[in-house]
Chains A and B, each alone.
Chain A
């Protein structure tokens, strides 16, 4: 919201004329000042000059010669590319040596050998708006040879750009901001009292409110003696500073009053108003009207219309007027409409029609239902400046329905104020802190009855008043204390375990990726995964609507990306959520760890799993008989613990790699962390290390392919019995992949806690292992 410094000072004359102090205070009272801008600064060196004559030159088609008089008795010559001036016009002339706002230096430059002394300026070139259609023609009474800024009455304005939050609709207007500032600075503030003196004959614009819940108040007043002309320069300049274009005196006053009092209004050409009055009703489904922006709008039964008494729509209520009753240069009698609309209905209508305006921005946030009179009075006062013959007619209409909000009264306990703010305030202190903001407090026993000003619809609870106390006392003056937590701080066991998981995976040389949690159907298809998934209803990009059911597609895209940037062999992991569908209130969201090792084969992923399982105390069977979709069918396994599937390990299917454009193998591990982290791992218990010597035996067997190494090793463990302290597979030999058996070589370390082993002990273990292996169809080599 653009708030003009000089305007604030008009409303609260004793505010400090100190831009920094105002800007800082605005932020301190919750009207965050995002920036302070200076606008309307004039360009030095640009002066007014009268066009003496213009001439074409046969050798210069795109420009003509303009001869200027600036009152110094010399005829100046300028080449100009715009042809909109006539002899006698006064124009702004940038003299040689001027630097334009866009940085151009104006010099004396020749065209076809004839020098051009400077430049004639358009409005845009001088920062006076968007008009670049031709040279700016000034008022014919403008003196020549003076700085154009002085001639135009341009004033440099300081503008505060405020980030006004939704709870402060009143701060959209200068009055609301000035009131808050005056309260903080402890200076008086005066707003229009709202008295209207009608002197004219009875002339009324009657009002019929059909949709009383949507339009609880609608006022009209008829004003004649209007002369449509231009606005005073000071008003045009303030409007420009606040970001609005000057159009004519009537429109400008309408806008000016809105920017000041915050109350939107609309002036209709009374002569063109069918039936001379208003009817406010809901639109009919499919009803159309052309709004001021020249767009035909198709409406629904939820849009509120302002119609004339012929039931012809003349405005989309609270949003934009229609073209048919727009005031024109010939207008002399206006009907001024000022109303209060129910905010939510306006908000919905704005969203449905995709049409926003300065008025709708205010109505949808909630105007002061009782601020109308002051704005009407101000409108008349300001319009009279340009229309001295203005007549305000008797017969003003103030139509209200029972839906008009009533002033709110809130009970505030001073003890509660202290309890919430941490600083004690007496009832009297509270009453006087909030009084300048418009809150009227009266003490009844231990409680203050606070009447909320009607421009503050945000205040409905005791705590809202407490905020006002804090805000105007100053948050920074309330002190800073640190509450003593009576509980110990710390991570939960699950959180500690999750950190341990990360540490282990990181220690294995795997780096952390964070792919996007949204996928496309294509991502799932290419990964060989089902596209049964939960979808976004309003994705950022069409098709990017799948809530991921697997971390795999994201990591595969990361592998592909890195491979395409000549970084093969990346090792990446992600700890993240997946959101599979569920019949419950929410999807079956859970946390997953996924590891991809590009350029590595399945055993590398198994090694990661084993290291993790050992570090975390996890246990699971590798079941190669069950391979999930998208994985290499002969190099992958399901990790099962009891009846639970806790994850998968192995390699990504070559079809999937092809689909993702990956030309290396990718080993993969995925585990359900929500499941695995939930159980507390057993704490490792001490086993005494023996002081007696150990003996190693190496045993190599020819083992049928049908017997897994895991199963075979388990048999060796069982048969070696209590003397076994360590066993490790140290060699695998396969003649070819299709052979029915392969050689597995294990080293067993045997040791007793109470004696040195004898040859007989070792031989017994060896014999038992061989016998056990035979039962599995394995032969000692």
Chain B
């Protein structure tokens, strides 16, 4: 009996050693240890043995043999599976630099990028964002901004007139400032708003001038707002948008809708100055046009071009390039 057990075990171990694939070894599991295996047969014949001792020792031997075959099988499966995976991994080798151009993400226009970066900085400074129509009434674009008809400053704006309503009553807005009036009329102060948008000037385009371009305007109206608050806000914006190494200054200037008025310049880290935009304390006549009492409220406004931000940031030589809609331009950014 013991001999039969040993023979079966030896035969099983030989088969395991000879198997070379995981599939073969999984098949051997049933064949060598299943109900119809040689060892199972021996186990089934134990009852026929005469003595209890014989049964006991033969039973023990069969169990030992089966355990030994099981562990031989498991060990062999582990080795073969490892080898097979290694072969598979080697065969799957790829050169990841074999790169096919796939349709990638779309590219936002660089003016939109500048626009959104500006919005985000001002939102961080506590501003909300207001919008208004691009086709405006003369009243919002000029008159409410302290430029009554025939005000000489109107000639500073090369205005596109629109054939809508009475002649001269409708224009393409020459600046984003009319939105100030619309905001004052609809929002109860305190007002901390920026107003980005498209504006129009009837002038011949060149490398630095467009007839259609974009501005961002800021308006703060609250109790006790001062020119020092304007200077501080411009400086906070400068540092937040351009970086800590930048500074700003205000220079006296003239706009009909602000008084006092100023230009604001940005000091770059190398110490040079860049003219950025115009600003000032909201003119009392403008506050009145917006329905606010200048004795109760004061405020400041500022504005500058968005296109130039995009142009300077990306080193675009000619602003007109930004509007060719040439995919070879768009895809660079």
A514 contacts the other chain (CB 8 A) = yes
Partner of A511, one of B107, B160, B262, B322: B107
B315 contacts the other chain (CB 8 A) = no
Which of B22-30, B31-39, B78-86, B115-123 contacts the other chain?
A: B115-123
Q: Would B326 and A517 count as touching, CB distance under 8 A? A: no
Which of A461-469, A646-654, A752-760 contacts the other chain?
A: A461-469
* A419-B224, A561-B326, A572-B325 known; A506-B251 Cβ under 8 A: no
Q: Would A485 and B127 count as touching, CB distance under 8 A? A: yes
* 23 A-B pairs with C-beta separation under 8 A: A28-B251, A165-B253, A344-B150, A347-B152, A420-B298, A467-B261, A475-B231, A481-B231, A483-B233, A485-B220, A486-B222, A489-B122, A489-B123, A495-B119, A509-B103, A512-B106, A515-B325, A547-B162, A565-B326, A571-B103, A571-B106, A587-B162, A589-B134
Which of B5-13, B41-49, B54-62, B163-171 contacts the other chain?
A: B163-171
Partner of B281, one of A423, A463, A479, A571: A463
Nearest-neighbour CB distance to chain A for B111, whole angstroms, equals 7
A536 proximity list for chain B (CB < 8 A): 160-163, 172
Partner of B192, one of A28, A481, A489, A508: A489
Which 10 A-B residue pairs are closest in the complex by CB-CB distance? A30-B252, A422-B226, A422-B228, A485-B126, A467-B260, A558-B325, A165-B254, A480-B232, A506-B106, A480-B231
For A544, the closest partner residue in chain B by CB is B211
For A491, the closest partner residue in chain B by CB is B129
Partner of B164, one of A508, A534, A558, A565: A534
A511 proximity list for chain B (CB < 8 A): 106-108, 327, 330-331
B323 proximity list for chain A (CB < 8 A): 514-516
Nearest-neighbour CB distance to chain B for A283, whole angstroms, equals 20
Give the size range of B's interface with the partner: 35 or more
* A562-B327, A587-B135, A589-B135 known; A488-B126 Cβ under 8 A: yes
B133 proximity list for chain A (CB < 8 A): 577, 586, 589
B180 contacts the other chain (CB 8 A) = no
Q: Would B322 and A535 count as touching, CB distance under 8 A? A: no
B202 contacts the other chain (CB 8 A) = yes
For A347, the closest partner residue in chain B by CB is B152
Nearest-neighbour CB distance to chain B for A176, whole angstroms, equals 14
B119 proximity list for chain A (CB < 8 A): 491, 495
Partner of B252, one of A29, A571, A577: A29
* A534-B164, A538-B160, A586-B136 known; A463-B325 Cβ under 8 A: no
| Assembled-state Cα–Cα distance A463/B225 (Å) | 14
Nearest-neighbour CB distance to chain A for B147, whole angstroms, equals 11
Nearest-neighbour CB distance to chain B for A453, whole angstroms, equals 17
Mark out the residues of chain B between 249 and 295 whose CB falls within 8 Å of any chain A CB in the assembled complex: 249-254, 259-263, 281, 283-284
| Assembled-state Cα–Cα distance A488/B211 (Å) | 35
* A419-B224, A506-B108 known; A513-B252 Cβ under 8 A: no
A27 proximity list for chain B (CB < 8 A): 251
Q: Would A483 and B222 count as touching, CB distance under 8 A? A: yes
| Assembled-state Cα–Cα distance A534/B222 (Å) | 39
* A506-B105, A586-B135 known; A481-B128 Cβ under 8 A: no
Nearest-neighbour CB distance to chain A for B306, whole angstroms, equals 12
For B281, the closest partner residue in chain A by CB is A420
Beyond A348-B150, A467-B261, A509-B106, 10 additional pairs, beta carbon < 8 A: A422-B228, A461-B259, A463-B259, A482-B233, A482-B236, A483-B229, A491-B123, A511-B108, A535-B162, A538-B160
Nearest-neighbour CB distance to chain A for B191, whole angstroms, equals 8
For A471, the closest partner residue in chain B by CB is B252
Q: Would B325 and A540 count as touching, CB distance under 8 A? A: no
A571 proximity list for chain B (CB < 8 A): 103, 106
Nearest-neighbour CB distance to chain A for B255, whole angstroms, equals 9
Q: Would A479 and B231 count as touching, CB distance under 8 A? A: yes
A487 proximity list for chain B (CB < 8 A): 126, 128, 190, 192
Mark out the residues of chain A between 542 and 565 whose CB falls within 8 Å of any chain B CB in the assembled complex: 547, 554, 557-558, 561-562, 565
Q: Would A421 and B228 count as touching, CB distance under 8 A? A: yes
A586 proximity list for chain B (CB < 8 A): 133, 135-137, 164, 170
A476 proximity list for chain B (CB < 8 A): 249-250
A343 contacts the other chain (CB 8 A) = yes
| Assembled-state Cα–Cα distance A538/B164 (Å) | 13
Q: Would A480 and B235 count as touching, CB distance under 8 A? A: yes
* A495-B129, A514-B323 known; A167-B161 Cβ under 8 A: no
Nearest-neighbour CB distance to chain A for B282, whole angstroms, equals 10
B224 proximity list for chain A (CB < 8 A): 419
Partner of B152, one of A30, A365, A513: A365
| Assembled-state Cα–Cα distance A561/B324 (Å) | 9
For B124, the closest partner residue in chain A by CB is A489
| Assembled-state Cα–Cα distance A419/B167 (Å) | 42
Q: Would B198 and A577 count as touching, CB distance under 8 A? A: yes
B68 proximity list for chain A (CB < 8 A): none
A32 contacts the other chain (CB 8 A) = yes
Interface mask (B174-192 → A, CB under 8 Å = 1, otherwise 0): 0000000000000000101
Q: Which B residues lie at the A interface, using CB under 8 A?
A: 103-109, 111-112, 116, 119, 122-129, 131, 133-137, 150, 152-153, 155-156, 160-165, 167, 170, 172, 190, 192, 198, 202, 204, 211-212, 220, 222, 224-229, 231-233, 235-236, 249-254, 259-263, 281, 283-284, 298, 322-328, 330-331
For A468, the closest partner residue in chain B by CB is B260
Mark out the residues of chain A between 293 and 349 whose CB falls within 8 Å of any chain B CB in the assembled complex: 343-344, 347-348
B198 proximity list for chain A (CB < 8 A): 517, 577
* A534-B135, A536-B161 known; A481-B232 Cβ under 8 A: yes
Nearest-neighbour CB distance to chain A for B103, whole angstroms, equals 5
Nearest-neighbour CB distance to chain A for B288, whole angstroms, equals 12
| Assembled-state Cα–Cα distance A434/B157 (Å) | 31
Nearest-neighbour CB distance to chain A for B170, whole angstroms, equals 7
| Assembled-state Cα–Cα distance A535/B160 (Å) | 10
B134 proximity list for chain A (CB < 8 A): 517, 577, 579, 589
Q: Would B327 and A567 count as touching, CB distance under 8 A? A: yes
B261 proximity list for chain A (CB < 8 A): 467
For A351, the closest partner residue in chain B by CB is B155
For B300, the closest partner residue in chain A by CB is A483
For B103, the closest partner residue in chain A by CB is A509
A272 contacts the other chain (CB 8 A) = no
B172 proximity list for chain A (CB < 8 A): 536
| Assembled-state Cα–Cα distance A478/B300 (Å) | 15
A573 contacts the other chain (CB 8 A) = yes
B222 proximity list for chain A (CB < 8 A): 483, 486
Nearest-neighbour CB distance to chain A for B178, whole angstroms, equals 11
Q: Would A485 and B190 count as touching, CB distance under 8 A? A: yes
A159 contacts the other chain (CB 8 A) = no
| Assembled-state Cα–Cα distance A491/B167 (Å) | 36
Q: Would A419 and B327 count as touching, CB distance under 8 A? A: no
Mark out the residues of chain A between 473 and 511 whose CB falls within 8 Å of any chain B CB in the assembled complex: 475-476, 478-492, 495, 499, 502, 505-511
Nearest-neighbour CB distance to chain A for B197, whole angstroms, equals 9
Partner of B106, one of A482, A492, A507, A565: A507
Nearest-neighbour CB distance to chain A for B169, whole angstroms, equals 8
| Assembled-state Cα–Cα distance A476/B284 (Å) | 23
* A419-B224, A475-B262, A537-B162 known; A502-B108 Cβ under 8 A: yes
For B125, the closest partner residue in chain A by CB is A489
| Assembled-state Cα–Cα distance A423/B228 (Å) | 8
Q: Would B231 and A478 count as touching, CB distance under 8 A? A: yes
| Assembled-state Cα–Cα distance A480/B284 (Å) | 22
Partner of A420, one of B112, B164, B226: B226
* A420-B227, A511-B327 known; A535-B163 Cβ under 8 A: yes
A364 contacts the other chain (CB 8 A) = yes
A348 proximity list for chain B (CB < 8 A): 150
| Assembled-state Cα–Cα distance A561/B249 (Å) | 44
Q: Would A490 and B128 count as touching, CB distance under 8 A? A: yes
* A489-B126, A567-B328 known; A517-B228 Cβ under 8 A: no
B160 proximity list for chain A (CB < 8 A): 536-539
* A534-B135, A537-B162, A562-B326 known; A485-B129 Cβ under 8 A: no
